[in-house]
Each structure stands twice: as C-alpha cells, then as structure tokens.
Structure 1
C-alpha cells in the first residue's frame, strides 16, 4: 500500500508549477493549524520532514475539516482571490488523497466563503516600448535575453525557463523554440518564435552562460540550504539555467533602477509584473497577425489544434515576420514610424523618378535637335571657311593682277592694244570717246562687298 505522505501526493502531478503550488498550499495550511514551522520565507533543512510529521498528526486527529478550511480562508484574508482559490484547491486535493471527501453542502459553503474576484485584484500597469526600454537599460545579459524572449514569444515564465538548448534553433527565420508539453499548462507541445533582437540578446547570453553556471555551482549555498534556490550543475541543458526566484530578483532590481518599482496599494504586489509581457505580446502582435495564430503561439487551449490545422509552421512564421516589428523593443527609433516614413520616402522617390524620366526624355529630344543644329552649324561654318578662303584667294589674285598692271611697260602695251580695240568698237557704234581714262585695275574688296550684299539680300 502506498504511503500517503506529502511527497507521494505531490509526485502525482507532472507539472512543476502544480507541484510547487500544492506543496506551498499544504505547508501554509499546516502552519495555520499548528503554528508556523518555517524559520524563513522558504523551506530549509529538516523542515520538510517536520511538515510530514504534522501531516500524519493531522489525519490521526478528530478534525472538523470544514471549519479548518473556513479558518484557513479567513487566515488568507487580504490575499488575491485567485491565490486563495489555488491554495484551497491544493488542500482539498490533498484531503481527498488522504480519504477526506467533503459533501456537496460543505463544498457549497466553502464556495460562499471564498472571496470573489472582481476584475484584476492587483491593478497592473501595461507595458509599452518606452517602459521596456527603461527596464532593459538596467538588465544584464541573462535578464535582457529572457525579457526580450518573453516579450517576443508570448511564453509563460515557467515555459521559458524549461527550454532546452536542443529545442532552440536560432538559424531559422524567424528563430524557433520548441515548448514541450511536459512543462506547458495545457500539456501540448508547440513551436514559438522570437524576434531578431531577442535572438541577438540570447546569443550574447550564451557567450557567458557557461561562466554563469560555473560561478553558480558553489555561490549560493546558503540559499540552497533554505530552498531559496535549486542546486545548479554543470550539465544543466536549459537555455536559462536559473530559477523563478532569480528572475524575481533581477526583475525587481531592474524596476528599482528604472524608477518603476511601483506597488499596488491594496495587495502590495508589483504593478509592472514580468508575467505582463504575455499581454504585451498578445496586444502588439495581434496588430498585424491573425488572432488565432497569436493565441496558438501563446499556448491557449482551443487555438493550438485549429491553428496548426489551418496554417503550416512556415505560414505561421511568415505571419510572425510581418508583425515582428510590433514586438521589437530596442530597435533604433520606432519601427512602425520608420516604416511609414520609408513608405512616404518611396512614394516621393517614385514621383522624383517620373519627373527625372520626363526631363531625361526632354533632354534627349533637345540633344537630338542640338545635334541636328550643330550639324547644320558645322556645315555653315565649313561654307563660311570656304568663302573666306575664296575671298582671300580673290584678294591675292587681285593684288597680283594689280601689281602686274602697274608694270609701266606691260600696262602701256596692254592698254594701247585694248584701247585700239575699244576705239574700233566705239567707231562701229558711233561712240565719241578715246578711252584715255580707262582703268583696268581690279578692286577685290569692292567685289567681295557686292557678293556679300547680294548673298544677304538673296
């Protein structure tokens, strides 16, 4: 027959979070009944054995289980209703495991005594890009890698802390992480994606991860004794080989340094909770990605099967890439604003391109006309040059002729010969002249002037 200890009861549950929650609930219940056993906030040393002894004692006594539970509820007054319900559920399961079955009437009484949650118990502040940037400014490698992974993947903290190195593929686009069913809330395995900046942060973290593990092996012995941290080994295959307690510590420290360590007046709980990164992921990614894909990536039951039936992993990755800028935190400037400005710039460039094309065509036409004109001008210049050459030759011939005519001997003989001919010509036509003033010289400049005048008028 199986021994009904607290440990055997807890061993029935496969999920780590359930184990932790139910164990804490039983210890709190026994503290309420018999007085506080723990010396500190967490269990240490032989305290688990003491609780086992109290468990045996409790079921060996004649107890009014309903009144014990009602008193336990009253003892938790002021705590969030969800926390009270969770602890009550754990204790009821433990009672049932030990053969204590409450009647329907008793269960109804407990329901009436359990505080009702009216909206969110703790008023949480919502994350936006500027707030996350402030927090990341005070985060080391491990903190930055985890925060950006959570913000861009939608994973729960417990899921992210259980991702193995072998279940991460940073070479794909987008980078993929396999979330195993053994540590998911719904028990189903799924694939999630992370952003490029989260990938870069994880790569930086992996450079120092082994050093972190080695430094942690013998560093926190006091915390291990108090069960504030688990024993680290050099064979830890998790991407993030640390506990939720470590996460709470660096998260709180980053909030303090960023001036964002704000607590709810009613519950005293932080208003910027790291769990809120899931809400950030959901609201941001849904701006450009189908809601069923977003819900499936977050691991919400009812969406996983439907999403994987409707979309291939490749299609889901493509949708993620289109919406990735919405979950990008540390990029230079606001990505959406940059994209809008880029679209405007591209539109302007298209306009400039049209203008340049038109001007290029006009320039080509003008160039063609210019070349035609230049060709004509070239021909005209050649003609002008030829005219100048002919004019020079005319002047040269005229000068030579005039010089020749100025020779007294030649001129006298030639003139007398011409004069005789002209006199005979004059006689034939009855002209009265002796041609004494006859000038046989050539005025080349006058001839050129007449030619140019005729050309211009013609």
Structure 2
C-alpha cells in the first residue's frame, strides 16, 4: 500500500528550492514543461560546501543500500540510477515510504542515533523535494524514535599549555591557523575561506569581515582577532596582495592535526572514532576563556552562533564589542609573551 500522495511539481517550485543548476531535468510533454525529478546527484549538488555534499551523499547512499540490498546498481555504486528507480516505483505505487524508512532504521544497528536521525531526515527531505511527503502523523511517529537523543561526548581538557604543545608539533602554517582559530572563535571552514581583501589590519584589534558565503549559517559578520593572530595572518599573507590568506584547506589541516594527536599520544574516544582533542575545541576554548573575563553574549556573537547574531548587533555598538574583546584578549592569546617552539623540528622529533 502506498502511503504517499504524488503531486506534480511546477517549474516555479523547482527554481525556488533548487536553483537552475540542480533543478532536475525538464522535458517537454504534451506541449507543457513537466518536472521529472530531483535525482541523487541533483540533490547532493544543491549544497555549496564540499563537506555538506559528502554528508548528504553518504546519507542517501546508506538509505538506498538499505532499501535495495541486493541491487546490482548499488553494488556498482550507481546511486543516480538507483534514485531514479525509487521515484519511478513510488509513482507507480510500488513503494511504501514509511516501511522503507523503518527498513533503513533496522539496517543501521552500527550507526550512532544522531547519525541515523540525519540519514532519515535527508531521505525524507529528498523525497519532499520530489513532492512525495509522508503524512504528518507518520513522519512524527518515525522521528519520535529519536526524541531526546543527544551525542555522547568524551573530550580531554584543553587549556593553554595543551594548545602550545599541539602547536609545537604542527607544521608552521597549521600552527598559524590554530592560533587564529583560538584567537577569533572562527570555524575552520570560515578561517580557510576569507581573503586578503576581507581583512582590515589598520585598526586594533584587526578585523575580518566574513561574507555570508564563508559562514556555516550564511550570515555575514565581523570577527576580531588578537594581536598574536594578526601577526600570524601577516606572516601567511607575505608579499601577496590577493587571494585566500590560508592557501591550504580544512582537510589538509585536519590531516596534520591527526598526526599531531598521534605524536602526542592523545587517546581516542571510546564512543566515536575521534581523538579526544579535536580542532573544534579551539573554538570552545575561545568561548569559555573569553566568557570568564568579558561578555559571553559578545563572545557568542563573534564566534557566529546564529541565535546571538542579529540581536547582539542591535544591542551592542562596535565600540562596546571592541572594548569587551580587549578585556579578553590576553585570556585568548596562546603564547602570551612566550617564544613559540620551532614547530618543524619538534614535529620531526615527535615522529622519529
């Protein structure tokens, strides 16, 4: 029994939700433009960031592999054709979305609850983009299985001395990036995206104007950085006048971070395959240290937490934001008055 009701999607809806690049394929039938479907590839390409595309791709592949465990197309990795097959069967009334979602859940014994919740959300959202939606009661019943689920976190304490130790075994450019992250509260993706033209080094503290396209929540914001971080930025720029400040990407930084964790014998979590100190903790360190000596609201706003952005920009003047940042600057400086270790020499010694 088919539990969903197909509704033809119009061209306006496709362009509104997907944009022309990922709007699916349009064919002329009986003199009218008819929307065919949003396929696996179309849906993945709707996401701008490479990391997001990887996550969405994984979730859809997992869903289709659970639904079609014996399909030769799945074995070949041809998920584009698998997605089209699913929609064709759905239109013919041969698929039961609710039962398929339950099948995905039963095949996901090894997935963490939040990961599985993301898989189900992506599967249902992909179907919704194709105008096949579960009745509200069934969707609610399905997602209620995950109500109250929270991730199990297991982290070591990250203090200034530990950050200094980590920096000592990172390559120089990674050391610079770590100091900028700790001294600004930026996400790694934001810090590896901003360009030389986005920085104002003529004021103190120096300012970085992050475009909406750089940020996770698609909201532009101003970021202040410590004097220490400013010097690292200047070093990374060198004599260049244009382009990104950090020429290497987040994946390369993560690779070197993992090598540093191995060199320092940092243990992995018992619950997830991740070291108990990870790069995002530099952002957490910024927030906690800043908040101990200055306004937490301003710390959250500078770090780009969406709930604080619009409200804080209305409530605080730039003068107040700068004043609070200067209060906290010494607390969020990684090497206060200390010469940094020779990272390359220390790294080679640790790897030996």
TM-score normalized by structure 1? Answer: 0.59
1:53 corresponds in structure 2 to: 81
Q: 1 CA distance for matches of 2:118 and 2:109?
A: 14
Q: 2 CA distance for matches of 1:251 and 1:75?
A: 33
2:262 corresponds in structure 1 to: 256
Asked whether the 8 Å contact 1:79–1:267 carries over to 2, the reply is: no
Instruction: Tell me by how many angstroms 1:147 deviates.
Output: 1.0
Q: Deviations over 1:253-282 (max 9, x none)?
A: 11111222x111122322111112221111
Asked whether the 8 Å contact 1:135–1:254 carries over to 2, the reply is: yes
Instruction: Tell me by how many angstroms 1:311 deviates.
Output: 2.5
2:42 corresponds in structure 1 to: 8
Asked whether the 8 Å contact 1:179–1:191 carries over to 2, the reply is: yes
1:167 aligns with 2:198: yes
Higher mean displacement: 267-276 or 22-31:
22-31
140 and 89 in structure 1: CA distance in 2 versus 1, 3 angstrom threshold: same
For 1:227-266, what aligned pairs fall within 5 Å after superposition? 237-260=243-266, 262-266=267-271
2:128 corresponds in structure 1 to: 96
Alignment RMSD (CA, Å):
2.7
1:278 corresponds in structure 2 to: 283
For 1:113-262, what aligned pairs fall within 5 Å after superposition? 113-114=145-146, 116-118=148-150, 120-207=151-238, 237-260=243-266, 262=267
Instruction: Tell me by how many angstroms 1:287 deviates.
Output: 1.7
- Out of 118, 135, 147, the position equivalent to 1:86 is 118
Q: Deviations over 1:85-105 (max 9, x none)?
A: 223222211111123211123
Asked whether the 8 Å contact 1:141–1:204 carries over to 2, the reply is: no
Asked whether the 8 Å contact 1:197–1:328 carries over to 2, the reply is: yes
Asked whether the 8 Å contact 1:126–1:280 carries over to 2, the reply is: no
Q: 1 CA distance for matches of 2:106 and 2:256?
A: 33
Higher mean displacement: 144-153 or 61-70:
61-70
Instruction: Tell me by how many angstroms 1:245 deviates.
Output: 2.1
- Where structure 2 has 5 or more consecutive residues not aligned to the other structure, the ranges are 1-10, 12-23, 26-37, 339-352
1:33 corresponds in structure 2 to: 67
Q: 1 CA distance for matches of 2:125 and 2:273?
A: 29
Asked whether the 8 Å contact 1:161–1:238 carries over to 2, the reply is: yes
Instruction: Tell me by how many angstroms 1:24 deviates.
Output: 2.7
Instruction: Tell me by how many angstroms 1:116 deviates.
Output: 4.2
199 and 236 in structure 1: CA distance in 2 versus 1, 3 angstrom threshold: closer
76 and 332 in structure 1: CA distance in 2 versus 1, 3 angstrom threshold: farther
The aligned length equals: 296
TM-score normalized by structure 2? Answer: 0.75
Structure with the greater alpha carbon radius of gyration: 1
30 and 143 in structure 1: CA distance in 2 versus 1, 3 angstrom threshold: same
Instruction: Tell me by how many angstroms 1:298 deviates.
Output: 1.3
